[in-house]
Amino acid sequence: MKSKGYTLVAVVSLTIVVVLIAAVVYYLFKPYFPKLPSPSITPLPQDRTADWQVYQNGKYGFSVRYPKGWLSSGKPVSDEYKSVIDENGREELVVIVHSASRYENLEEFFYYLDKNMVGYVSRTAVKVMKKEELKIGSYQAVRREIFFNQSGYPAIETYVFNKGLVVGISYYLYGNAMASEPPDQISPAQEDVYKMIISSFKFFQLEPL
């Protein structure tokens, strides 16, 4: 019985000695141990449109934000048309609902649009500089950079498709007004504003009447 007791005491003592030696070694050589990276917390992206004004269409169930200081243009506004001017009084943003016809897809809509966008002497009213398909949330969309041949200024426009309905959000760019040729690229500042406008666009569920 005593031998078992001595064995237990010896094991406990040896364990204590090993722990003490390990602690001393760690303390002495701590500066040489590699430092593990501390966990970093990624901040949530800030919504830069949070204090922007909101245009909400209760008939077709969508909303979009636009910068502070931009105002309604004063033109007749309906459920299918909204026009906004900037601080300089220039028409800057136009939101149009294309609901006269119900389209099967955006390809069908663009066929109708291009067929009817003809200017003077049978010249196409706009020149499409770039066109790309994308998603706005879960909805099919197409972004185009265009140049108005008659007035001489470019615009960015995005058309969003939802159950036969097409919503167009156009941002007019007057920095190159009356230019004879479209600019090579949209300025970073204009691109940034437009991306924020489009990022704020959303459809919402209409309440039953």
pLDDT tens-place values along the chain, 209 residues long: 555 555 766 666 777 777 777 776 666 666 655 665 655 666 556 788 889 999 999 999 999 999 998 998 878 788 899 999 888 788 889 999 988 777 889 999 988 887 776 655 455 678 888 999 999 989 999 999 988 877 777 889 999 999 889 999 999 886 544 455 555 567 888 889 999 999 999 998 776 54
Q: Does the residue 27 lie in any domain? A: no
pLDDT at 176: 46
CATH classification at residue 132: 3.40.1000.10
Q: Does the residue 16 lie in any domain? A: no
Q: Does the residue 17 lie in any domain? A: no
Q: Give buried/exposed letters for 174-192 (b at 16+ CB in 10 A, else e).
A: bebeeeeebbeebeeebee
Q: Does the residue 26 lie in any domain? A: no
Domain that residue 196 falls in: 53-203
Angstrom distances, CA of residue 87 to CA of 156, 172, 173: 19, 14, 14
Q: Does the residue 28 lie in any domain? A: no
What is the distance of C-alpha 30 from the center of its chain?
Answer: 48
pLDDT at 26: 64
Q: Does the residue 29 lie in any domain? A: no
pLDDT at 16: 78
pLDDT at 65: 94
Angstrom distances, CA of residue 7 to CA of 10, 14, 38: 5, 10, 43
Q: Does the residue 36 lie in any domain? A: no
pLDDT at 133: 95
Q: Does the residue 192 lie in any domain? A: yes
d(CA 152, CA 95): 21
* Counted domains in the chain: 1
